Structure 1
């Protein structure tokens, strides 16, 4: 008998008893009783450009970009005629570091930056360009997402909720299985199971071993959820063929959990819709751009 974990099949198909040797994706936006939804729309400080970068000071470009838009032009220091404004160090000030310490450390940073610009001119130019693009892309992402979130209407939220937060994703199933590579064995086992044979029942294993064994249909492995969702408690599936084995499923139990109300998911939905619009906007801009790879 193969172990279930050795299989790697996109979906399972029923197998007729007379053709057990016959060679053998429904994506649900919601899944895992709503848990997948939260994971899907979570922003978590990430952008479409990758992980949020952080500077050597420990303040991210995001913080500096925000500070640049919310700071002031009050001059805090001058080094060889170069002014350091409150706007420039806004991100550091927001981190809670004492203002005098921030200014002192930043003076050293300005001096080091000018030495780098003079001593390593070519590298300095490339570094400045990369830094500018990092900060500006973060600024665009942050501010544009804010604008798009504000623009999401209640009607859009309701439409998304009705289309994606489905009752079926809050129906949980507890499933056991029998797996074999022998066609005759699996057919005999199925027949024994349907007759209530206790020895055959003892060979069944839980499909989900974590927690209480319950899972949403969309969270079941190998896309078996589309088979399970059509079955009833106590029912056995027909023999299902996977690439490396033959499978029987049994519905041990099922239960429903409360579907979240639209208001409880509103902020997550707003975020998902804003992200969708953001990606569409960025993709459209990319299509218009003349991109040439070196």
Structure 2
């Protein structure tokens, strides 16, 4: 990997008009190993993201020029950087707007520096662009995702030029050619479909279908749906689903606040909309009032 690629992978852009908050954000991200570029308004921030192609971007909602929602829309049109939106507003509608625009996380001000760092580390454990295996924070910081074929969906069945001439397969230690090994992996992936009514989900290929129609979901929406389909009729609380998205399903000591729960509600609203699921008469996902979500009854 070139030094330029390494530098890009360790870069974060901070878009924030308040100099004190901007300084705090930069300190937190630099303590996590990033070099930071700061911008005091949305226009300069979008330009910085397009120039440096950072791994992480933080975006304030209320800024001079264009607001954070428009900045996120412009960034998302050209970059798959992880985006955290920050706002002093405490309205669910703002969370929905931010997540719909393309943000990955939504954090209310004032925020705890440790919470911001935990959000960053959790995002880096999730697959980027809705495909490929999840990366650990150290892996994600240490590589250039834009140059990675995994991040951009290398064509199925493509064999890299540096691949060995044969591949070991677990069944009896037999050796298969790369083409045969790919065929075995594809066959295994096809057998991993989870179904509920006419809804199908394949965790290996990260494809979701309703009948024969493929549904395009963000990585967060996919992970939420996957968690619910695995749990079937068992209720998943908003706290539980927050930890699932952070990759901390089995850790109970992490802070989960009201902003996290509103973010889950916003993601769930987007997921239901894409599935064509009416919360009042749900076909796939039902709300258990005061607790969380689960799949509807029926095959």
TM-score, scaled to structure 2 = 0.20
More helix by share: 1
Rg (Cα) greater in structure: 1
TM-score, scaled to structure 1 = 0.21
